[in-house]
Copies of this chain bind each other. A is one copy, B any other.
């Protein structure tokens, strides 16, 4: 048998769902996981428990893998270059991945290739934040550490210089950005192979609650054909220009005056693409695998007029399984995706998807199920 071995670094839910998508392909899937209890480690046969920050561990893990890919963006760039020097294909490669690791590098690259972003620059201290504000429309200003943030962490909205001290305490460069007056957030998900083939999923609307993705609607309701094509074009351009291989999620602001600005990039399967598991011909996980293996990509088109994904966050009730009875009986078409994680308040522990012809009904079903699983809806 000449079926390849894919090594995935990181044992979170993205690796769990990538393994699920890889089973039909007949490939071997190896996991480097922080602990044996991690979400993906619970369901994968070949698990190496170790620290991805240790080059020796990474090198030993990569032995016998045909390609290395990632559940997260935290592997040090120099380690990835060392793996490449060892002759192991790393997808996405370190030269691409750095744009998802460092927001300063990302903004500079997007400026260079002409992709519109919020007004931004690296700031050095609170007084410099004041100058940045004065250069534009004043406060509020968004401050982000260039590395290490996710799901709202490492991000501050500050209303004056006095409130701008915290972000500088970590000793990491700080990026200042205008606070965009957006109408809504969108995401453009594309997948690109080393061969240069690329596919674009329908552009989705992504609704955040407290900085965490809550609801994704595919396709984005009421989005004009022009803006939809523009968002896909932006994502495809970024993928090509930054030489991304695998899945690329481009988080976008749709401004009230009808422009698109890039918020964030992720170079891995992404929460805004989870709907594809049940709503697209080929899921983002399957296409990510096909891309990192340089196989022809699968059809990204939707299978239903509307698909909705709602995240399931941990609530006060640790026993989500007993909620299955109600949710499954109420909605036999509901798709539940749980990650095997302990329930902690506010933690992403799963998601649900629904699909159908009527958006209001599809949205209601997904929200009801997610709320019932969390425990905020009890009837």
Task: Please report the C-alpha to C-alpha distance between residue A217 and residue B47 in the assembled complex, in whole angstroms.
Answer: 38
In the complex, chain B residues whose CB is within 8 Å of the CB of A2:
319, 321-322
In the complex, chain B residues whose CB is within 8 Å of the CB of A222:
none
Whether A16 sits at the interface, judged by CB under 8 Å, is yes
**Which of the residues B29, B41, B298, B324 comes within 8 Å of A43, measured between beta carbons?**
B29
**Which of the residues B24, B45, B295 comes within 8 Å of A325, measured between beta carbons?**
B295
**Which of the residues B19, B24, B329, B337 comes within 8 Å of A296, measured between beta carbons?**
B329
Minimum distance in angstroms from A51 CB to a CB of chain B: 20
Whether A74 sits at the interface, judged by CB under 8 Å, is no
In the complex, chain B residues whose CB is within 8 Å of the CB of A303:
303
Which B-chain residue is minimally distant from A290 (CB atoms)? Answer: B328
Supposing A2-B322, A44-B45, A45-B44 touch, asked if A25 and B338 sit within 8 A by C-beta, the answer is: yes
Supposing A44-B45, A333-B281 touch, asked if A23 and B28 sit within 8 A by C-beta, the answer is: no
Minimum distance in angstroms from A320 CB to a CB of chain B: 8
Beta-carbon contact of A28 and B42 below 8 Å: yes
Which B-chain residue is minimally distant from A3 (CB atoms)? Answer: B321
Task: Please report the C-alpha to C-alpha distance between residue A342 and residue B43 in the assembled complex, in whole angstroms.
Answer: 23
Whether A340 sits at the interface, judged by CB under 8 Å, is yes
In the complex, chain B residues whose CB is within 8 Å of the CB of A277:
24
A303-334 at interface with B (beta carbon < 8 Å): 303, 318-322, 324-325, 328-329, 332-333
**Which of the residues B26, B325, B329 comes within 8 Å of A338, measured between beta carbons?**
B26
In the complex, chain B residues whose CB is within 8 Å of the CB of A45:
41-45, 47
If A2-B322, A25-B338, A296-B329 are given as contacts, then 14 extra A-B residue pairs at C-beta distance below 8 Å, sorted by A number, are A1-B318, A1-B321, A1-B343, A3-B338, A4-B321, A17-B23, A20-B23, A25-B324, A45-B45, A282-B332, A296-B325, A297-B328, A299-B332, A303-B303
Q: Which residues of A are interface residues toward B (Cβ below 8 A)?
A: 1-4, 16-17, 19-20, 23-26, 28-29, 41-45, 47, 277, 281-282, 290, 295-299, 303, 318-322, 324-325, 328-329, 332-333, 335-340, 342-343, 350
